[in-house]
């Protein structure tokens, strides 16, 4: 699959220095219940956020629960409309995409959630889960070829071939997350949103999955947006960090700078709240 990998052929001609993902001044207001006198009330979950991620790099978005991380992630996947602002993938705004160009974006940008059950249909065998997206996006000319690709994916995530004809519930949490990762890779994406991908896993399994994500990033030149509240996990995976508080980015920079010289009290508190080295990985 490596030789036929085509993760970079969507959108305008890629310019080397152009970020894969650009978020420009994005705001999301959720309508909350209507107040007295019928006045509509809104909650601003994401407030004028701008960020960008370079090809093959990982940007982590960290922040306490409710700070707006998942809301931002859903907008980045084009699953939720921003109230205002614009998101660009390989230089092309989401708003300018339609038809086949929009379908290409659906293939290019994949997601792995905290709970693999959220991304894995319990009624589908692993074979079906891994080939479903290939069929939708016309990858592989025959069932045989798609099976070959599925077996290749299993090898990439270190699962045995017999995994193909089993169901998600037959696997441990860590194995399920490997299947979810293989499924995300099945449509040859260039970008993966990782929303707390290891938070539900046993500590001993977390580092294995993080190592797998790092290995796959190198193998397929994947760009990651990694959402987490765990700064230790972030330090392991990320190149850059954006710190989110109440919908806003309050601090952003290379991972070492944020860890060594956090400028904000809020970041200090996040750092102080994480378990010490070795205990949370
Ligand atoms: N569909 C919705 N309608 C109204 N409010 C929402 C909706 N989804 C999220 N919110 C609110 O928006 C804010 C941000 O939520 P979000 O899920 O993005 O936070 P988060 O940083 O991902 O939190 P966590 O770490 O707990 O996953 C919260 O106050 C949440 O209650
Ligand atoms: Mg969330």
The string of pLDDT tens digits covering residues 241-254 is 999 999 999 999 99
Mean pLDDT of 126-139: 96
Percentage of the residues of the chain whose pLDDT score is greater than 70: 91
Contacts of 214 (CB under 8 A, 6+ apart): 237
Q: How confident is the model at residue 211 (pLDDT cuts 50, 70, 90)?
A: very high
How far apart, in whole angstroms, are the C-alpha atoms of residue 95 and residue 84?
11
Residue whose CA lies nearest to ligand 1 atom number 10: 45
Is residue 264's pLDDT more than 90? no
Please compute Rg for the chain using Cα positions.
19
Residue from 60, 61, 62, 69 to probe ligand 1 pocket by mutation (most atoms less than 8 Å from CB): 69
pLDDT value of position 275: 58
How does strand 240-245 pair with strand 109-113?
A: unpaired
**SS3 per residue for 142-156:** CHHHHHHHHHHHHHH
Q: How far is the CA of 247 from the centre of ligand 1 (A)?
A: 9
Mean pLDDT of 31-47: 84
| Domain spanning 21-273: CATH 3.40.50.300 | yes
Q: How far is the CA of 69 from the centre of ligand 1 (A)?
A: 8
Alpha-carbon torsion 217, 242, 87, 44, what sign?
Answer: positive
Q: Which ligand is nearest to the CA of 65?
A: 1
Residue from 68, 81, 115 to probe ligand 1 pocket by mutation (most atoms less than 8 Å from CB): 68
Q: How confident is the model at residue 156 (pLDDT cuts 50, 70, 90)?
A: very high
**Ligand 1 site, residue 73, Cβ cutoff 6 A:** no
* Model pTM score: 0.90
pLDDT value of position 16: 59
Long-range contacts of 274-279 (CB under 8 A, 24+ apart): 274/230, 274/231, 274/232, 275/232, 277/232, 279/203
For ligand 1, what atom is nearest to the CA of residue 30? 4
The separation between CA 197 and the C-alpha centre of its own chain, rounded to angstroms, equals 8
Helix axes 143-156, 173-185, angle to 10 degrees: 130
Alpha-carbon torsion 54, 58, 61, 65, what sign?
Answer: positive
CB 133 within 8 A of CB 95: no
Nearest to 141 by CA among 129, 151, 149: 149
Q: What angle do CA 92, 193, 81 make, to 5 degrees?
A: 55
Is residue 277's pLDDT more than 50? no
Q: How far is the CA of 129 from the centre of ligand 2 (A)?
A: 24
Percentage of the residues of the chain whose pLDDT score is greater than 90: 68
**Ligand 1 site, residue 215, Cβ cutoff 6 A:** no
Mean pLDDT of 19-47: 90
Contacts of 257 (CB under 8 A, 6+ apart): none
């Amino acid at each position: 699959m490596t030789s036929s990998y085509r993760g970079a052929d969507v959108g305008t001609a890629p310019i080397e220095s152009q970020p894969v993902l650009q978020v420009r001044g994005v705001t999301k207001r959720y309508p909350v219940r209507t107040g007295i006198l019928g006045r509509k009330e809104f909650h601003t979950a994401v407030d004028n956020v701008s960020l960008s991620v370079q090809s093959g790099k990982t940007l982590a978005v960290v922040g306490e629960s409710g700070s707006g991380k998942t809301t931002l992630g859903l907008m980045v996947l084009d699953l939720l409309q921003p109230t205002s602002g614009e998101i660009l993938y390989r230089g092309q705004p989401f708003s300018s995409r339609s038809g086949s160009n929009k379908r290409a974006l659906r293939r290019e940008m994949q997601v792995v959630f905290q709970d693999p059950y959220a991304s894995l249909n319990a009624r589908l065998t692993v074979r079906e889960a891994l080939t479903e997206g290939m069929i939708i996006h016309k990858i592989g000319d025959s069932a045989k070829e798609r099976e070959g690709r599925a077996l290749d994916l299993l090898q990439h995530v270190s699962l045995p071939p017999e995994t193909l004809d089993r169901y998600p519930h037959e696997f441990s949490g860590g194995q399920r997350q490997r299947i979810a990762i293989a499924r995300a890779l099945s449509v040859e994406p260039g970008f993966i949103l990782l929303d707390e991908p290891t938070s539900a896993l046993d500590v001993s399994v977390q580092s294995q999955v993080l190592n797998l994500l790092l290995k796959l990033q190198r193998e397929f030149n994947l760009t990651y947006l990694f959402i987490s509240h765990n700064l230790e996990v972030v330090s392991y995976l990320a190149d850059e960090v954006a710190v989110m508080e109440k919908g806003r980015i309050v601090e952003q920079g290379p991972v070492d700078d944020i860890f060594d010289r956090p400028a904000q009290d809020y970041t200090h508190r996040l750092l102080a709240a994480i378990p010490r080295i070795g205990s949370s990985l």
